[in-house]
Amino acid sequence: MPIELKVPEVGESITEVQIGTWKKREGEGVAMDDSIVEIESDKATVELPAPAAGIVTKILKASGEKARVGEVIGYLEPAGSAAAAAPPAAPGSQPVVDVKRTGSRVDIGSVQMSAGDGTRVMPAAARVLGEAGVAVSAATGTGPGGRVTKDDALGAVAAARAPAPVSKLAPAAAPPGRLPGAREERAVLISPIRRRIAERLVEAQQQAALLTTFNEVDMSAVMALRNKFKDVFLQRYGVKLGFMSFFVRAAVEALRTVPQVNAEFRDPHIIYRDYADIGIAVGGGKGLVVPVLRNAETLSFAQIELGITDFAKRAADNKLKLDELQGGTFTISNGGVYGSMMSTPIINPPQSGILGLHAITDRPVAIDGQVVIRPMMYLALTYDHRLVDGREAVTFLKKIKDTIEDPTRLILEV
């Protein structure tokens, strides 16, 4: 008996998801717990594992379609059943499949060995068209007797997915004798995560009183310390010693000094916290995500670096768990890895602050009356002015600066 593949619960209050990439096609075998399809919500991307070994026999929802939590999106024939155990047809003797078009999907009907009135399609071609939701009429049969082969189906799918050229309007003042460049456009469906990111950024701008203050930090001491211990650190912990762990530890100390930045405005109260759950902004496969280092005030440098490395790897593969993306109290965003010199980051509601890091560049600075070249970084703190006054914001950034410029403070916690 076929097993229903249903959309799993992906988080509290989430009732609708978007179907992502199908990892298995109709007719493909799967082992138990193999990933079958990606399920995208506005908070995370999760994978639906195979509940048993068998064969995917039917896909009901194509990539990009919406589905409700609990809705059946496909069927799996368990191993050992008659359908799953049926041997494939020998090469050269594949039957022709009577294919009918229903709605936006191709339904594979009964297998016929002789020609009929319907379109004659080879089974592999029918599977390709069915998974892509492309009409049989879009494929031109080049096989024996005009049959549609798999290559014909793949060509039809490629043609259907090619972006349609958008009507072009000649520029109003195009110089004589010059032809305008390519002006084509293509539409890409917005992923739920990208949509949610947009909503939260607008929400932050509309609901919080945002202000950004800046400072700069001399990275000489941290760079020297890192260079001195990076080899032994890597050998002992199996992870590189980066700059982010210094800034996480510095942020923890600054949050202790200025607790307003770690607080939350929850009208009619302000919620203060005696712990620091630091969100680390990382680029994921579906967009920017912010996994959280829980109780960062208790973590060592190695634990911080291991946690960030793990987050980055799993974010690239869309394997972060939903609970890892929720509940942060403060965020650090490192735009410097992309070459950013200066920015005004936007807070992640309902947090009250976000620290922006930027590129390290050699710049002339005045020290003890002398102009010297030092590796400098600009820091930016965007904060909610409803909770944090300018004095507290400047004090917070000054604490970060002092700690990074003299990292022995992290050991003494002063």
Q: What is the pLDDT of residues 136-161, one digit of tens each?
A: 777 787 877 777 887 888 888 777 76
Q: Could you tell me if residue 216 is inside a domain? A: yes
pLDDT digits (tens, 9 = 90+) for 324-379: 988 899 999 999 988 999 999 999 889 999 999 999 999 999 999 999 999 999 99
- How confident is the model at residue 171, as a pLDDT? 53
- 263, 312: one domain: yes
Q: What is the mean pLDDT of residues 77-90?
A: 61
- How confident is the model at residue 242, as a pLDDT? 94
pLDDT band at 414 (very low <50, low <70, confident <90, very high): low
Contact 74, 50 (CB under 8 A): no
Q: What is the mean pLDDT of residues 50-77?
A: 90
Q: Could you tell me if residue 298 is inside a domain? A: yes
Cβ-Cβ contacts under 8 Å for 400 (sequence gap 6 or more): 215, 217, 247, 250, 251, 254, 355, 379
- 208, 118: one domain: no
Q: Could you tell me if residue 40 is inside a domain? A: yes
- 308, 221: one domain: yes
pTM: 0.63
Final residue of a structural domain among 61, 86, 111: 86
Q: What is the DSSP letter of 183?
A: -
Nearest to 356 by CA among 366, 365, 346, 364: 346
* 358 a catalytic residue: no
| Single-letter amino acid code for the residue at 341 | M
Peptide bond into 350 cis (omega under 30): yes
Peptide bond into 144 cis (omega under 30): no
pLDDT band at 165 (very low <50, low <70, confident <90, very high): low
Domain count along the chain = 3
Residue 237 pLDDT exceeds 80: yes
Using DSSP, state whether 116 is helix, strand or coil: coil
Winning range, highest mean pLDDT, from 84-88, 121-125, 201-205: 201-205
- 135, 213: one domain: no
Catalytic residue among 34, 310, 389, 406: 389
- 199, 264: one domain: yes
Give residue 321's domain range: 192-412
- Top-confidence residue, 89 or 414: 414
List C-alpha distances in Å: 93 to 130, 141, 152: 21, 17, 18
pLDDT digits (tens, 9 = 90+) for 93-106: 444 444 444 433 44
CATH number of the domain residue 81 falls in: 2.40.50.100
Contact 379, 397 (CB under 8 A): yes
N-term to C-term CA, the chain: 67
- 381, 250: one domain: yes
Please state at what angle helix 150-161 crosses helix 123-132, rounded to 10 degrees: 20
- Top-confidence residue, 305 or 319: 305
Catalytic residue among 231, 317, 323, 385: 385
Residue 301 pLDDT exceeds 80: yes
What is the Cα Rg of the chain in Å? 28
- 203, 320: one domain: yes
Q: Could you tell me if residue 22 is inside a domain? A: yes
Helix, strand, coil percent values for the chain (each to nearest 5): 30, 30, 40
Residue 274 pLDDT exceeds 90: yes
Cβ-Cβ contacts under 8 Å for 303 (sequence gap 6 or more): none
CATH number of the domain residue 143 falls in: 4.10.320.10
Q: Could you tell me if residue 180 is inside a domain? A: no
Final residue of a structural domain among 63, 86, 109: 86
Q: Could you tell me if residue 114 is inside a domain? A: yes
- Top-confidence residue, 187 or 116: 187
Cβ-Cβ contacts under 8 Å for 61 (sequence gap 6 or more): 19, 67, 71, 73, 74
- How confident is the model at residue 341, as a pLDDT? 93
Q: What is the mean pLDDT of residues 266-290?
A: 88
- How confident is the model at residue 111, as a pLDDT? 33
Contact 1, 313 (CB under 8 A): no
Mean pLDDT over all residues of the chain? 83
Q: Could you tell me if residue 170 is inside a domain? A: no
- 139, 26: one domain: no
Residue 17 pLDDT exceeds 50: yes
- 141, 236: one domain: no
- Longest C-alpha distance within the chain, in Å? 94
Q: Could you tell me if residue 175 is inside a domain? A: no
- 43, 111: one domain: no
- 267, 319: one domain: yes
Write out the DSSP string of 3-46.
Answer: EEEEPPP-STT--EEEEEEESS-TT-EE-TT-EEEEEE-SS-EE
- How confident is the model at residue 110, as a pLDDT? 35
Token pair 């102009």 in the structure block, residue: 371
Residue 222 pLDDT exceeds 60: yes
- Top-confidence residue, 27 or 400: 400
Contact 108, 95 (CB under 8 A): no
Q: Give the integer Cα–Cα distance in Å for 109 and 131.
A: 15
pLDDT digits (tens, 9 = 90+) for 170-218: 555 555 556 667 778 888 777 777 777 788 788 888 888 999 999 999 9
- 270, 358: one domain: yes
Final residue of a structural domain among 38, 67, 86: 86
